[in-house]
Amino acid sequence: MRQSPAGHRRTEGGAAVTDAYAHADTEADGAAAQAALAGATGMVMALVPCTAESARRLLGDAARAAGVTLRLMARTVIATRACPADVDPDCERALRAAIGHARSRQAPSPSAPGTLLPAPDVLRGHLNHLRALRRHTPAAPDDPALRAALDDAAYTLCVLMGQRNAHSALLAAEERVAAHRLPPHVAPGGPP
Res 44: pLDDT: 93
Res 182: pLDDT: 59
Q: What is the mean pLDDT of residues 75-95?
A: 86
| Range from 28-37, 74-83, 92-101 that averages highest in pLDDT | 92-101
Phi, psi of 185 (to 5 degrees): -75, 130
Provide the 3-class DSSP secondary structure of residue 17.
strand
pTM listed for this prediction: 0.70
Res 105: pLDDT: 55
DSSP letter for 15, please: -
Going from N- to C-terminal start, the domains of the chain cover 2-103, 120-181
Q: What share of the chain in percent tops pLDDT 90?
A: 34
Lowest mean pLDDT among 11-15, 57-61, 183-187: 11-15
Neighbours of 191 (CB within 10 A): 5
Provide the 3-class DSSP secondary structure of residue 8.
strand
Provide the 3-class DSSP secondary structure of residue 180.
helix
CA neighbours closer than 13 Å in the CB half-sphere of residue 24? 1
The model's pLDDT over 114-154, given as tens digits with 9 standing for 90+, comes to: 778 888 889 999 999 999 999 999 888 889 999 999 999 99
Beta strands 2-4 and 16-18, pairing class: unpaired
User: Minimal CA–CA distance to 45: which of 33, 57, 34, 28?
Assistant: 57
